[in-house]
Amino acid sequence: MVFVNLIMSCIIYCLYYDDASFAKAQRYQEIYPEIVKLLKLGNISVYFEGQVFPLLFERIDEWKNKKYVGIIGGSNFAQKCGALWDFDKVATSFADSVDVIGFYPAPWNAPLYFQSCVYHPYFGEIWCHALGTQLGFTHEQIIDPQIPFFASNYWMARPSWLLRYIEFYELVKNILQSSPNNISQMLHSDSNYQGCLPKEDLIRISGKPYYTHHPFIMERMPCFFFHTKGAKIIILCLPSHVELLASKELFERVL
C-alpha cells in the first residue's frame, strides 16, 4: 500500500505534437502508467514546449495535491538526458528537501546569462528588457552566475511553485508580445540554433526560416524564477544520482 501511495505522489506530463511524437510519448506511459499523462500541445507556437503552462493550469485539479508535477518531451527526453530517470524514485528521494528538480544531460558549469549570450545573439538585450526594464529586477539578479540551468522545459516542481511560475510565465510572455519594435525585431531574429526542424516547418511556426529567440528566452525563465524566488533546486544529470535511473532496458524502450 505504501508503494502505491508513493507512485501516486507525482504526475509527469509527457508532451507531444503529432502522431510520431505521440507514439514515442506512449512508451513513457507504458512504463509509468500511474505517473505519466500524455498532453498534446496542438499547433507549435514560437515558445515550443513553453506553451504548455496554460494547459497545465487548465488541469490543476489533476496535480494540485501531488508532491510534484513535471513536464518532459516525449520525442526526445531520454535521448537528450542520455538516460531515463525513474520518476517514482526521484519524487520520493527528494520529497522532503527539494522544491524543483531539473533534468539535464551533463553538469552545466558556465553562468546561464553569459553562456546564453554567447549562443544567442540578442539574448542579453531581450533578457534585460523583460526582467530589468519591465519587471524591475536588479542587474545583479538578472546576470547572477549562480542561476542554475535545466533546458527544454524538462523539470518537476512542487505544485505551489508551479502555480507561481505559471503566473510569472504569463507575465513575461505578455511583456514579450507587447515589446517595442527594437526588442520585437531581436525576438524574431535568428537565434543561431541548429535544430532538427526543416525550414518549411519553422516558417509555419514563426514566419521565419530559422529558430527565433522566443523559446530560448522562455526555457530559461524557470531557472531564473525559481532561483531568484528562493526555491530549493537540484539538477539531475549524469554521472551523478545513478541510483535514481531506470534500467537500461527501459531506457532503450523509449529511444
Asked whether the CA dihedral 220, 225, 228, 233 is positive or negative, the reply is negative
Strands (E), the chain: 10-16, 36-40, 68-73, 100-103, 155-157, 233-236
Fold of 2-253: Spore Coat Polysaccharide Biosynthesis Protein SpsA; Chain A (3.90.550)
| pLDDT tens digit at each of 255 positions of the chain | 333 344 458 999 999 999 999 999 999 999 999 999 999 998 899 999 999 999 999 999 999 999 999 999 988 899 889 889 999 999 999 988 999 999 988 788 889 999 999 999 999 999 999 999 999 999 999 999 999 998 889 999 999 999 999 999 999 999 999 999 999 999 999 999 999 899 999 999 999 999 999 999 999 999 999 999 999 999 999 888 999 999 999 999 998
Measured CA to CA, the distance from residue 25 to residue 39 in angstroms comes to 9
Domain boundaries, the chain: 2-253
The whole-model pTM stands at: 0.94
